[in-house]
Structure 1
């Protein structure tokens, strides 16, 4: 295979789960759907999954963690996430912000994100097998770091500020929900500013994750990010 194989199993407030394969090692990122659905998406076999990366403790990202550990799969997350989920054992690998670790053919760096969770993380994943890399972040209203020479990006693009404000004015959402979304998720506008600060000459694909059912517009988001980056854009 020439690139990374990325399979969006689920994305959104009802659950998030993504499979990544570089031709040698298979990873799951997030496990926020029932274990049976994960198994179905993988042809009822978990043998191709070397490990699971979890961003934070909310159930739409971590629902199946304990079940996956029971199947003998290693899970990686922050100490804060593990504490809230109340999990331990030899299948748990606690990683800290800035820590670099290896899983199979991958070298992975964890970095902090901004969300209403104990210790949320994003991941920069580099494949030693094919030399390609992937930047993953979700459920964060801002990123502190800029990454260079990125081949693939999986980024939250939850809402548009214009749509969110209109929905507040029209009574579609409450002031409380408006404030929570604004303070815990990434908008189209913030993502665009982040991408403008990066060197995107190597970017092949960008996946827009966790689009809100109410506060987003998939076609608009895809068009704007496509024009900005010149890369293939996949909305999920």
Structure 2
């Protein structure tokens, strides 16, 4: 099983988990043409697309995915907020209720963001094991056991965010919104420490701010605090996400 990052950040987000026979898409923030290329134009192997919330960098191209015949899932609140017109509709998920999609199992859970009913996802496939996906949330109130891979937001560093305001690069209102909707490096470290990491193979840091983060510093700090292999989610990143390596 491989993870391919098609986009991650404030402009667009899309991630593909796939092997030769199956694919699961997370977020619909890039055009369907990029997804086609990623999956080798084999649309039949796509079981679903999961959308975490209503903000455009995560859902802008939902209509294209639906038109391609992909089942797109999200919370009822997200579906209401996106309000896609057309014959094919998004499908609702219920928080903490496991849904089986062929060989995949997905459990959505609520996260903390400034929108209508946002979700993170606990995803299971026999090949990759348990994968945690949590983006655009300033805090995770749930704890997870037996994780194999973690994809988690690490948006900003407190000191860099403060400095951006002091230099006039960022409006104080935007800083307040960031504090109430995105995960800091400090909170990311604390969150990882509160989860059982003994079986974790990869940690992938998502949705880094281009202005308020230093990716090398973040990668180093997370690595030192967890002892795990750490990646920064950037367009073009492809990594193995098998259970054991």
Residue 158 (structure 1) shift: 0.5
Q: Secondary structure at the match of 1:192?
A: helix
Contact 1:25–1:104, Cα closer than 8 Å, also in 2: no
Give the TM-score taking structure 2 as reference length.
0.90
TM-score scaled by structure 1? 0.93
Q: Which residue of 1 aligns with 2:103?
A: 105
Aligned residues: 232
- 1:209 and 2:206 equivalent? yes
1:97 and 1:110 in contact (8 A); partners too:
yes
Match of 1:79 in 2: 76
- Is 1:15 the counterpart of 2:16? The answer is no
Contact 2:66 2:88 in 1 (8 A): no
What is the 5 A alignment of 1:114-125?
114-125=112-123
Give 1:41 shift: 3.0
- Distance between the aligned counterparts of 1:48 and 1:10, measured in 2? 21
Summarize deviations over 1:20-53 as a string: whole Å, max 9, x none. 1256431000011122222233334433311000
Q: Distance in 2 between matches of 1:105 and 1:219?
A: 36
Cα distance between partner residues in 1 of 2:163 and 2:59: 32
Larger RCO of the pair (alpha carbons < 8 Å, separation 6+)? 2
Residue segments in structure 1 that go unaligned for 5+ positions in a row:
none
Q: Is residue 181 of structure 2 the alignment partner of residue 159 of structure 1? A: no
Cα offsets for 1:69-119 (capped at 9, x unmatched): 111110110000000111376652201111110112111110001111111
Q: Distance in 1 between matches of 2:115 and 2:232?
A: 25
Backbone CA RMSD of aligned residues: 1.5
Q: Is the 8 A contact 1:79 1:94 kept in 2?
A: yes
- Distance in 2 separating the partners of 1:126 and 1:139: 21
Rate the CA distance shift 1:103–1:22 in 2: closer, same or farther, 3 A: farther
Q: Which residues in structure 2 correspond to 1:134-149 (within 5 Å)?
A: 134-149=131-146
Q: Which runs of 5+ in 2 are unaligned?
A: 234-245
Q: Shift of the alpha carbon at 1:136?
A: 0.1
1:235 maps to what in 2? Answer: 232
CA distance in 2, matches of 1:131, 1:69: 26
Distance 1:83 1:19 in 2: 25
The structure 2 residue matched to 1:191, chosen from 188, 193, 203, is 188
Hey, what does 1:49 align to over in structure 2? 46
Q: Does the residue aligned with 1:50 lie in a helix, a strand or coil?
A: strand
